[in-house]
Amino acid sequence: MSAEPDSGHRFAEASDAPLLEVADVKTHFRTERGTVRAVDGVSFSLERGKTLGIVGESGSGKSVLARSIMGLLPGHNVVRAGSIRFEGREIGDLGPKAMQEFWGAQMAMVFQDPMTSLNPVMKIGRQITESLRYHLDVSKGFASETAEALLASVGIPEPKRRLKEYPHQLSGGMRQRVTIAIALACGPKLLFADEPTTALDVTVQAQILDLLEQQQRERFMAMILVTHDLGVVAGRADDIAVMYAGKIVEKAPTRVLFTEMRHPYSEALLNSIPKLADPSHTRLQAIGGRPPDLVRPPPGCSFAPRCPYAQERCRVEEPPLVEHESEHAYACWFPVGTREGEEALRRNRAASAAPASAGGS
């Protein structure tokens, strides 16, 4: 695209420093019930052109993490800590006014529900061009042409006509394409996709994910794909971080994660996905127990109450996130697939099989 800044083609001089470095980021919300520790110490780094998948159930803090990195949190009653470096520059302590320069132009976000994330009473064309005109200071006509080209590139037929239409005149899939177009308009280097397909029909989901992948490749963008669905990130992310109770519990390149899963929560997530190969009427495996209390987290590992591998140590001492194997970090005392883990599991199963005990974990 001629209108965009050159950012896409600088990969020849790719810097050594990663595009995004997140170190021990914490986001706590002050509420009447107490301080909710939504994100409680997350660290990772991301390079240009790579995709990181952040997976977790609702309440795991994944969306808050994305917004924290972007700096899109509400103004009051929020406590932030930790360092966020974008292109080597610290942005974690910047206020909204300073962040305005980044939003749209350097980093952008695609939200979950395209029906509500588009302004219902503003023409689609305007929702794209206003961003272009604000950041790139181009003329109205130029912005319009660019918008049209953008719509075409995200696969919307008859883009010229669509410019003058309103969101409610498009289908759900189309609307999401539009939000993607808006997000990409100024050529950001980093794209957050927060549950981009959750609100869409299953048939459309794959199309949207393909579109994101294609755009990312063409623009050499970094992407953070936030989802609760392991299936979404399976084929599309380079690395996956699994989040639970505001912390990352396992992080690995995708293939490694799936073949050598170590954290019991990751394993539980994977098992809960129904598989095509299973015989019909196979019971779905849910993760027992309740989501963690983010205000008063229990001591020790936050997953312990629901973990089939949990031992005494887990309830007392919190396991740190350590890179135990090459490029594979996890936070667990009794990981899946290790000798200690297997033993722990066996012990627990034996204990629950004993006559007088209540149901297992």
Partner 1 sequence: MRFVLRRLTNLVVVLVVVSFLTFLLMNLLPGGPEVNYLGPLYVSDLSRCEAGDIDPQLAEGCTQTIRLRETLGLDQPFLERYGRWLGNAATGDLGDSYKNGVPVMDTITESLPTSLWLMLYAQVIAFTLAIPVAIYSAYRAGRWFDRGATTVSFGVIAVPVFILAILFIFLFGVKLGWFPTIYDPTASVGERIKGMFLPALTLGLGLGAVYARLLRTDLVATLQEDFILMARAKGMSTRHILLRHALRPSTFSLITVAGIQVGALIGGALVVERIFSMPGLGSVVTESVFRRDYQVVQGAILVITSAYVMVNIVVDLIYGYLDPRVRHARAAG
The footprint of partner 1 (CB under 8 A) covers 70, 72, 96, 100-105, 108-109, 111, 113, 116-122, 130-131, 134-135, 166, 168-169, 179, 182-183, 185-186
Instruction: Give the shortest CB-172-to-partner 1 separation in angstroms.
Output: 14
Token output for 311: 């031992």
Shorter beta-carbon distance to partner 1: residue 92 or 305? 92
Shorter beta-carbon distance to partner 1: residue 85 or 133? 133
Tell me the DSSP string of 180-232: HHHHHTT--SEEEEESTTTTS-HHHHHHHHHHHHHHHHHHT-EEEEEES-HHH
- If 0-12 CB within 10 Å is exposed, 13-18 middle and 19+ buried, where does residue 142 land? middle
Helix intervals (H) in the chain: 62-70, 96-99, 114-117, 124-136, 140-153, 159-163, 172-184, 202-219, 230-234, 254-259, 264-272, 312-316, 339-353
CA distance 254 to 71: 27
Shorter beta-carbon distance to partner 1: residue 178 or 249? 178
CA distance 189 to 219: 8
Shorter beta-carbon distance to partner 1: residue 35 or 100? 100
Shorter beta-carbon distance to partner 1: residue 102 or 309? 102
What SS3 class is residue 6? Answer: helix
Shorter beta-carbon distance to partner 1: residue 164 or 255? 164
Instruction: Give the shortest CB-97-to-partner 1 separation in angstroms.
Output: 8
